[in-house]
Amino acid sequence: MTIIANDTIVKFNYTLTNTQGEVLDQSRGEPLAYLHGHHNIIPGLEKQMAGKKVGDKFTATVAPKDAYGEYLAEAVQEVPRANFQGVDKIEAGMQFQSQTDDGQVMLVTVKEANDEVVIVDGNHPLAGVELTFEVEIIEVREATADEIAHGHAHGAGGHQH
């Protein structure tokens, strides 16, 4: 029986909750497939998947630093409304792509907006949140050479080419 290690393809079902027990995401019957050891899932969950095998069920609690990072207050910024030319209506919760000074593309979420400024948050929506995953391992197999070269799982539950 294959165990989860680098260069294995893993299919698993999961339910993701926060510390209040609210369901944030789940696999909904279609297992998620990923290539282990290639940063396809958050580091804290990937680390806890290592060594598991088909049929294993477990709970993985992941600290913010091993998930989507700590919440950074400096990632919340006021941007002149004029920077949003061509967008007539801006409301809290809307998301936009922005480019950092070094050319990185990042997603920002509008916190609030008025005629003068738009307050955007560059933190991931789950930054600063401790996450709990209820996991069931469905399949573990050796990755193909193509999957390793491409850095992700192919086929059902993975990337389609």
Cross-strand bridge partners of residue 76:
121
CA–CA–CA angle 4, 146, 60 (5° rounding): 25
Report whether pLDDT(158) > 90.
no
Q: What is the pLDDT of residues 96-113, one digit of tens each?
A: 988 878 888 889 999 999
- Specify the higher pLDDT residue, 84 or 36: 36
End-to-end CA distance of the chain: 28
In the structure, what pLDDT confidence band is assigned to residue 116 with cuts at 50, 70 and 90? very high
CA–CA–CA angle 108, 110, 116 (5° rounding): 120
DSSP E strands, the chain: 8-17, 23-26, 32-35, 57-62, 76-80, 95-99, 105-113, 117-121, 131-142
Q: φ, ψ for residue 87 (rounded to 5)?
A: -110, 110
Q: What is the pLDDT of residues 19-36, one digit of tens each?
A: 999 999 999 888 999 999
**Residue 150, token pair as written in the block:** 């491409």
In the structure, what pLDDT confidence band is assigned to residue 156 with cuts at 50, 70 and 90? confident
Domain architecture of the chain: domains with CATH:
8-68+127-150 (3.10.50.40), 73-121 (2.40.10.330)
